[in-house]
Structure 1
Amino acid sequence: MALINCDFYSDSLGLSTSMTVILPQQSYSQIGMESKALQRKHPTLYLLHGLSDDHTIWLRRTSIERYVASLGIAVVMPVVHRSFYTNMKSGYDYWTFISEELPSIARSFFPLSDRREDNFVAGLSMGGYGAFKLALSHPDRYQAAASLSGSLDIASLSERFPADFAKVFGSLDEAVDSANDMFRLASDLAASGKQAPQLYQCCGTEDFLYDVNLNFRDHARQLNLPLTYEEEPGNHDWGYWDAKIQRVLEWLPLRTE
């Protein structure tokens, strides 16, 4: 495996930013780890961080590099600060960055596939929101998306994080039923007739976002979206996410040829 800390300039943000990238390596056997790379451009998992984290956190809190070694996929981990993967009301255009610019830049630097069936996105908490937002907004680009303890109902954020909410979304009236509203995005996709990405959602039953996740699960099921939902005892913490990212990697519909 190659682990690359990549600093680059973003036109959409107007500043320098960073991403951490894991790239597959041709088959080798090292003590405690085996690796492989497919003989084509790499399938890619965009792995998104939560509200208080950055692009380094998945490597610092989990063994993601080891978990993906035998799968032959690249992992791209960008930084978006506390933006909720959104063009902020008062801030930077992180939605344009994450949805348009980042994939283009990453593919210009590294041999990453642009085929829908080779592209996946996952994230935790705020990153779970970002992952589903990308997949539901651009179902033609992502084969599958996973939300771990996702902050899927932006209306609930107005009370828990009022300062962040105002900077990112503006008022509650502006946010609800907008292009930033996960429930609206799910409804729009179901009504569009487009092929929906496969969705995986999980949340610990002791998590403060458990009820939010139940609400979105029920909404997605009513719309007949292809959702796999799992729950078990767990809290909003890295012990839970370290276990569940391994489950996500098992669930991903990876092509092996």
Structure 2
Amino acid sequence: MPLIHADFFSQALQLCVEVDVILPLRPWKGTGTRDDSRHPTLYLLHGLSDDHTIWQRRTSIERYVEEYDLAVVMPAVHRSFYTDMKAGYRYWTYVSEELPYVMRSLFPLSDKREDNFVAGLSMGGYGSFKLALSHPERFAAAASFSGALHMALAYQDPTPEWQAELNRIFGSLDEYQGSANDLFALAEQAKASGKPLPTLYAWCGTEDFLLPANHLFRDHAEKLGLPLTYREGPGDHSWKYWDEQIQVFLQMLPLKKLA
């Protein structure tokens, strides 16, 4: 499958960005004609200290999707938590609006809800559920692996550098709670909207420091009646488990195999 590295100037961020894309290669049948149908797409999101290359370097994602008609889009958002930062860049606008527009302009990607999925680890798990709950009309399924699903807990860490970073990203705890960055508030809004909700999948290791956040989100989602499948098992915050879980999630998706 072709692995494409795309560089372009982001209008939302006002800087150059990098995106890696795995694009399905449909078999050439020697007819001289082109298949113009558009591919289902998985937006695959990185964690706090990673970038757009990490899923390729730490998993076999290209091999896992090679038999499917599925494009994989892997953007870089640095340490932004997929937000329009209080003091920084408009990464939420970039990843939720501009990125899909540019990707569909450059590549034959479907804009149909049933063909769009999102997944991520840690900070990317937060970003995945944020996209799915903010725009349930756009995504059929979303997955979080060891996700930072309750960022209000992060404010309990008194480290000055971490507190400063949270304030640059989200603002104060009062500003975060109930805002468009709060997954708990977004879950309530998505449920109240009456729109069809994406299928949600969350996994966390029982030795992972984010397990309490995952339990709290699981309980909140169950109380609301969200379509969440929650699983946990032995494991910490490491790639061994995320490599396993991306394969689990791919098996859950309604993907067609390449002819």
TM-score (ref. length: structure 1): 0.94
Alignment of 1:106-255 (within 5 A): 106-160=103-157, 161-254=162-255
Alignment of 1:71-110 (within 5 A): 71-110=68-107
Task: For 2:45, give the aligned amino acid.
Answer: L
| Aligned counterpart, 1:10 | 10
Q: Is the 8 A contact 2:69 2:255 kept in 1?
A: no
Q: Is the 8 A contact 2:68 2:256 kept in 1?
A: no
Alignment of 1:8-87 (within 5 A): 8-27=8-27, 40-87=37-84
- Deviation string for 1:183-229 (max 9, x for gaps)? 00001111111111110010001000001101101110111111111
Q: Is the 8 A contact 1:87 1:96 kept in 2?
A: yes
Runs of 4+ in 1 over 6 A off after TM superposition: none
* Cα distance, 1:164 vs structure 2: 1.9
**Residues 109 and 4 of structure 1: is their aligned pair in 2 closer, same or farther, counting only changes over 3 Å?**
same
| Aligned counterpart, 1:34 | none
SS at match of 1:26: coil
**Residues 67 and 44 of structure 1: is their aligned pair in 2 closer, same or farther, counting only changes over 3 Å?**
same
- Deviation string for 1:116-164 (max 9, x for gaps)? 0000000000000000000000000001000000001111122343232
- Deviation string for 1:48-88 (max 9, x for gaps)? 00000000000000000000111110000000000000000
Q: Is the 8 A contact 1:9 1:16 kept in 2?
A: yes
* Cα distance, 1:112 vs structure 2: 0.3
* Cα distance, 1:253 vs structure 2: 2.9
* Cα distance, 1:255 vs structure 2: 5.2
Percent identity (aligned): 62
- Deviation string for 1:13-33 (max 9, x for gaps)? 0000000000001248xxxxx
Unpaired runs of 5+ in structure 1? 29-37
SS at match of 1:18: strand
Tell me the distance in 2 between the aligned counterparts of 1:87 and 1:127. 15
Unpaired runs of 5+ in structure 2? 29-34
**Residues 192 and 123 of structure 1: is their aligned pair in 2 closer, same or farther, counting only changes over 3 Å?**
same
**Residues 256 and 39 of structure 1: is their aligned pair in 2 closer, same or farther, counting only changes over 3 Å?**
farther
Task: For 1:58, give the aligned amino acid.
Answer: W
* Cα distance, 1:39 vs structure 2: 6.9
SS at match of 1:17: strand
